[in-house]
Each structure stands twice: as structure tokens, then as C-alpha cells.
Structure 1
Amino acid sequence: MPLTFAQRLDNVETSAIRELFKLLGKPGIISFAGGFPDSAMFDVQGISAAVNTALQTEPGAALQYGATEGFQPLREQLSAFMAQKGAKDVAPDQLIVTTGSQQALDLLGKTLVDPGSKAIVEGPTFLATIQCFRLYGADLVSAPVDGDGVQVDKLEQLIVEHRPRFIYLIPTFGNPSGAMLSLERRKRVLELAVKYQTLIIEDDPYGDLYFDAPPPPSLLALTAEVPGSRDWLVHCGSLSKVLSPGLRVGWMVAPAALLAKATMCKQFSDAHTSTFAQATAAQYLADGHMPATLARVRQVYGQRARTMTDALRSELGDAIDFVAPQGGLFVWARLTGAGGKLKDGAELAKRAIEQGVAFVPGAPFYCANPDLSTLRLSFATVGDDKIREGIGRLARALG
């Protein structure tokens, strides 16, 4: 007899990005496909010191079971970390520590989504978000994005039409779009949340990775300027892109009732995020290493982003269109078909592998009506010389 699986699995597919990684074993391939930070940027010395201090000062707390809500010293450090960025009124007990921000999304799916629940996401958006919310039965609606983030007038139209359970946004250097929601639009989003009593989920794993000027304040920070909006906002943060993905430390700020439900569901999932990882992260933040780490990664990623955009302009010319990112890890681009050149991102991905370079075609990042001419390029893990070489290979694949 064949195994019988839950019907919810019919709504999701294996990650197209993870499947692409199976093709990357070819020697000498240059990959712009990954969505992760450069391991050379990890502050191994600072993390090692934090581990040793945590084990010396509180070995029982670091190695024992802990509270589902999170390790209290880390909650306090995260509260202070957010306060430094303008969210000054988030008390430690108003957040829970999650196993990466990915778990926060899963907890939101568990607590908010019934089969058929409407939810609005950006088009394009984080692929794992589409998979996660669909796993729980969400009916996803796509809101268009431009260089300034989600188009708020069209978002309001979609709210009126669909009355969604929630809206999921990556306002700052989104994955994959790289877009930065303007200050005006951020305030308008919060006003819409209050006006229509619709929950906004702000996913903010990239906000600290700006290259020059800091981005506008997070939606969480701006709730102080829009009365009532804090009651309709969830904020998800992560140390994965700025410290280490291996620690799997994220957090979620949410209204008290939702936070309680999410905590209950987390008890069923993993009891608590690794206390050892939490103690390490708490000590690292307490030691004051984060500002120097952020300064370093901003400089390196900023330079690599400029190298990639310069190479795209010189090698592909008007055959490709993009908005130069101001932060984050990605260039989001669209093939124009100029000069009769290829306009299909998936087909170019196949040809690119043959030329020894990889990227992710853009279609999987849409929950509906995908733009087949789009692609995502990550500059984070490739040095300047390899970026130039890889874009040259991409130009040859384009023809």
C-alpha cells in the first residue's frame, strides 16, 4: 500500500532554488544563485569569545532547556538592538526568540491561516514565504512592486477587494526585489493597517545591510508616528544575514494575543530555540561587536553590488534592466529582449549553466502571474574579479 500524505502537501512544491543547487557541482562554476551571506564575513573570533564567556559565566543556562519565549538576556539585548534603530518601546517580553526568522513565518502560518484564508504578498517575494503560507492553505494574492517597494495605491485596492487575513512585506532590500519601501509609503502602509484593521507582517532580515545612507525606519519604529498601528503589526528580525545563519537566531514582535498563540505553537515545534545559540548571540551583542561587524559587511557587500551593476551595464547593456540596490544581497533584473536577445529567464538560466555561471530565474518568486523575464543575482559570496568574469559568462549565454 502506498503511503498517504496530508492533503496540504498538494499545495506546495520543492524549492526551485534548492533544486538548482543540484546543478552547481560543475567544477569552476561561478554562482550568483545563493541567498546567503559570505562565510568569510563571519566574525569567528568574536563569536568564539562569546561562546567561551557564555560557558564560563552561565554554563547551566547555556546548556540546559530554556523558556519557549527565549533566553531572557538575549531578549533584553534584542530589545536594545531594535531601540538603537528607532524602535524604542519594544520591551523584552514583547518579543519571542525564534529558530531563525523562518520559524517566525511558520508560526504565523500556523496561527493565522485557515484553508482558503486570503493573504497578500509582494510580487515578487521570498519563495519560502509562498511555500510556507500555502502549506497551511492560504490563498495568496500578489501586490505589485516597483523600485520604491510595494505600490501602496494598488495594495489598498487589493485590501478592499480581498479583505485579507494579513499582508506580508519585506520593506527593506527585499528578497528577491532588492527594493526599499520609501518613507512615505511606509507610513501609508501603517495607515492602511489601521483603516482596514488588517495585520501587516514586516520581515526585516536585510535592513542592517545598507551600503551608504541608512534606510528609512522600520515599520515597527514608525508605529510611534501612526496611532493604533502597533496593534496591527508583526515584526520579524534575524541575525542570520549579519552574524551567522548557523546560529539560527531570529525573533518576532507581535500583539500580545498573537504572541501567546505563537509561543504555544512553538512549544509543539521545538520547545525553544537552542539556548546555547541564544546565549552566544546575547553575549556577542553584549560585548559590543555588532557595530564593527556591520561596518565591515556593509563595505564589502556595497563594493560587490557596485561591481555587479557596473558589469551588467557594460556587458549586457540595454538587454537587461534593473534598479541598483541600496543594500541587501541581491540585484533583481529583467531581460528586455533588446536587439532580439533572449527574454526568458528560465531559458537563460539553462544556457548560463553551460557557460559556467548560475543564477535564479525570477518566476518562482511570484505567487501568481510570474514575470518570466526576471532573474535574481546575488553578489554576496563572490569577489569582484569573479563577479566580472561571471557577468561576462552571462553575456555570452545571452548571445
Structure 2
Amino acid sequence: MQFADRLNNVETSAIRELFKLLGKPGIISFAGGFPDSAMFDVDGIRAASNAALAEEPGAALQYGATEGYQPLREQLAAFMASKGAPDVAPDQLIVTTGSQQALDLLGKTMIGPGDKVIVEGPTFLATIQCFRLYGAEVISAPIDGDGVQVDALEQLIAEHRPKLVYLIPTFGNPSGATLSLARRKKVLELAVKYQTLVVEDDPYGDLYFGEAPPPSLLALSSEVPGSREWLAHCGSLSKVLSPGLRIGWLIAPPELLAKAVMCKQFSDAHTSTFAQATAAQYLKAGRMPATLANVRKVYAERALALRDALRQELGDAVEFVQPKGGLFVWLRLTGAGGKVADANVLAKSAIEKGVAFVPGTPFFAQNPDHATLRLSFATADVDKIREGVARLAQAL
């Protein structure tokens, strides 16, 4: 068959391919980037779906507006206000089929063959693939424990004049890094100075341990005049409520939002109205704060257990910055004591020892660091985390 040329720019997700190796009985996986299904508020979601069918069955089961189910848009605007962004009106956001669709819509509306985009190095693998699918040249900006290095980012923007800059400022995937408050303001200033769209992807911002992170770029945009005109914000309920609902949203300037709605009409007409009605009822019922408090507590315990196990079992063979939230720890193998220094090599021996992780190489759009790897602590309890790290030490 004669496939589209655009497919030459992408390949199957290395993470999805890795899952094919996980059929071995008893394997402990740090590979997945998904939440623990044991913590889903099944009773709350069941009550919400029942309420959706009881109150507006016709609307919940019928075709809906491409922009989204209006009661959900209103609830999401209120949800954003509770997170420090009070000036988001319901008509300033559209509901997407997960935040992944929001990224795809941004690719469709903004990127043409040969256009340049800047991402963090490392960043979310699916974003690299999505943007490349539309013909982008994807350029990496360096990061550290405080997120993207803004001086280097400005140099790259000035040099390449990208169509957009894509960032995960809070508890990045895979890095776990959190962009500092000062750097957040600088990013918004750069957006205005160079009139460059900044895309803020924020699926993990509610999953903080202890102290809340700095305000989102969206929340801070009111402090940097003109920045809201150059900012798109992607949100999701997948990591905090349920990925199966496939509820995400996109907040963007009116002209961009209109183009995104047009492209969404071609893709799926609208996000599932039943899922939207269920999510609207759930948010309306006020159960989200308790749900968030529970998942924060559990994930914080697991993150600390992973930190302690890594220090005890692997010692100076690895380097990492302890995340303050999210789902991931980003490691770098040092090779100390003659240990393995290539995560791709380690991944194969780790599977043989009964533990899985994702090597860091695919998360880089340029100049991959083969010594890096991502561990997710979300789906393993404390005992499995300890055992998994012990197995990882054996593989080293």
C-alpha cells in the first residue's frame, strides 16, 4: 500500500512496544504512566453516571456540540478557578477526548511541514510523535530540576522562531521537574516578546505532595500583560479521576480555539456526551477534593518509598532529583563501580530479573541521553516498590 509520507516521520511508541514484554508472570512494572485503578472513586463515578441518566438522559445519550457539553464546560471553568485561574469562562475552553486530543488539535491547527517547535529535553514521548506526524522539526531545550532553562530557551526561540513552545511545567513527564515561579514568569515574558505560542500541558499539577506547586502559567498570565494571547493550556481528568472517561480540555485564544473546534469536527464530532455528563455530575457533587487528597497521600508514600529504596539498593550508581508530585522519578545511571551505564542495556537484563521500566532515550527529540530511565511509582504498592528496586539492583 502507498501510505502517507507523514508516517515516515514517526514510529510505534517504544513504551507501547515495551508492554508486549510484560507478560512474564510476577513481573513488577515501573513502566506505565497511568494511575492506580485501585484508587478510582468507583462509587462516586457510578453515582455521577446514574445522575446523568436521571437528570438529562436525552442530552447524555445524544449527539452533542463539538465544543463540549455545556454543564461540563461550566464545571471545568469552576475547577480552573479553584486552581487559581478565575478568569476562564466556559466558552474559552473546549472539551477534548483526553488531553492527547488537545495536543493533536494543536498540531493540526499550528504545524505544517518544516515548521519548528521547541520542547523540553526530555519530554512526553507522544507529543514528539504527534508534532512530527504533522511535519515539525522538533528542537529540544535543556532542563534541570527547576524545569526548562529559560536563558537557553530564549536563545532557541530567537534562533529558530518556532511555531510553538511545548512545556510540562509541573511534575513533568518523564522528568518529574517543576518549573520555578521565576522561570514561569520569564516564559510568559518570552511568549510576549517573541509573539510565540506557549503550550502548557498540565495533567499532573493536582498530584502534589505536601506544598502546592507554583501557579500554572495560565494562572500567572494575568500578571504578564499580553501573555494570555500567546498561551494555550491543556488539562485532563485522566490522572486524577479516570483515564477511561477520556475527558480533557483545551483553553486557548479565541482564533486558535475556533480552528481547533473545526478540526475536532472532522475527527470525532464531539467527545462522548455520556462521559462528559458523568464528569459534570461528578464535579458538581463536590467529590473531587476528597479524591485528590487520597491520591496525593498514596502517591506521596510511594514516591518516598521509591526514593529510599533507590538510595539503599543502588547508591551512587544512579542520580535523581526527588519529585514533589506527579507519577515519575527520572534517573540517570552514573556507571559508578563498574555498573551498567546504558539504560537500554539495563532494560533487557531488568526484564529477566522480573522488573520493567522505560529507558529514557525515546523521550528526547534530539541528542538522547542513553543513561537515563523513567520509573513510575503510581501502580506499585510500597512492598512491590522495594522488591522491584531490589531486582533492579540485581540487574545492574
* Range into which the TM-score falls when normalised by the shorter chain: over 0.9
SS of equivalent residue, structure 1 residue 382: coil
Looking at structure 2, the residues matched to 85 and 395 of structure 1 have their Cα atoms a distance apart, in angstroms, of 40
1:305 equivalent in structure 2:
303
Shift of 1:93: 0.1
Deviations 1:208-243 (A, max 9, x none): 000110000000000010000000000000000000
Distance 1:11 1:190 in 2: 30
In structure 1, what is the equivalent of residue 235 of structure 2? 237
Find the aligned partners of 1:393 and 1:145 in 2 and give their Cα distance.
30
Tell me the equivalent position of 2:373.
Answer: 375
> Given the alignment of the two structures, is residue 91 of structure 1 paired with residue 89 of structure 2, yes or no?
yes
Spell out, residue by residue over 1:299-329, the C-alpha distance to the aligned partner (whole angstroms, 9 max, x if none): 0000000000100000000000000010000
Residues 335-372 of structure 1: CA distance to partner in whole angstroms, max 9, x if unpaired?
00111111000000001000000000000000010000
Q: Within 2, Cα distance between the matches of 1:126 and 1:241?
A: 15
Cα separation, 2, equivalents of 1:24 and 1:291: 34
Pick one of 36, 39, 53 that aligns with 2:37: 39
Letter in 2 for 1:144: P
Task: Give the residue type in structure 1 aligned to 2:58.
Answer: G
CA distance in 1, matches of 2:133, 2:346: 30
Q: Which residues of structure 2 form unaligned runs of 5+?
A: none
Which residue pairs with 1:214 in the alignment? 212
Q: For residue 169 of structure 1, report the CA deviation from its aligned partner.
A: 0.2
1:291 to 284, 289, 292: 289
Unmatched segments (≥5 aa) in structure 1: none
Letter in structure 2 aligned against 1:185:
R
1:363 to 347, 361, 364: 361
Aligned length in residues: 396
Partner of 2:321: 323
Structure 2 residue 244 is the aligned partner of structure 1 residue 276: no
Query: Shift in Å at residue 82 of structure 1?
Result: 0.4
Amino acid aligned to 2:67: E
User: Segments of 4+ in structure 1 off by > 2 A?
Assistant: none
- Residue 145 (structure 2) aligns with: 147
For the residues of structure 2 that align with 1:112 and 1:157, how far apart are their CA atoms? 22
Alignment map for 1:32-71 (pairs within 5 Å): 32-71=30-69
Which residue matches 1:106?
104
Q: What amino acid maps onto 2:18 in structure 1?
A: L
Distance in 1 separating the partners of 2:22 and 2:236: 27
The answer to whether structure 1 residue 350 and structure 2 residue 382 are counterparts is no
Match for residue 161 of structure 2? 163
**Structure 2: distance between partners of 1:49 and 1:114:** 44
Instruction: Write the mapping of 1:386-397 to structure 2, written as runs, cut at 5 A.
Output: 386-397=384-395
Aligned residue for 1:237, secondary structure, equals strand
Look up the equivalent residue of 2:147 and give its one-letter code. Answer: G
The residue that corresponds to 2:184 in the other structure is 186
1:115-173 per-position Cα deviation (integer Å, ceiling 9, x unaligned): 00000000000000000000000001000010000000000000011000000000000
| 1:221-279 Cα deviation digits (max 9, x unpaired) | 00010000000000000000000000000000000000000000000000000000000
- Structure-2 separation of matches of 1:341 and 1:312: 14
Q: Secondary structure at the match of 2:325?
A: coil
What amino acid sits opposite 1:15 in the alignment? S
Partner of 2:314: helix, strand, or coil?
A: helix
Other structure's SS at 1:349 match: helix
Determine helix, strand or coil for the equivalent of 1:346: helix
- Equivalent AA in structure 2 for residue 165 of structure 1: K
Distance 1:383 1:244 in 2: 19
Give the partner amino acid of 1:38: D
Q: Name the aligned partner's letter for residue 337 of structure 2.
A: G
Q: Which residue of 2 aligns with 1:15?
A: 13
TM-score, normalised with respect to structure 1:
0.99
Equivalences for residues 200-211 of structure 1 within 5 A: 200-211=198-209
What letter is aligned with 1:223?
S
CA distance in 2, matches of 1:161, 1:350: 39
Q: Equivalents in 1 of 2:155, 2:340: separation in Å?
A: 34
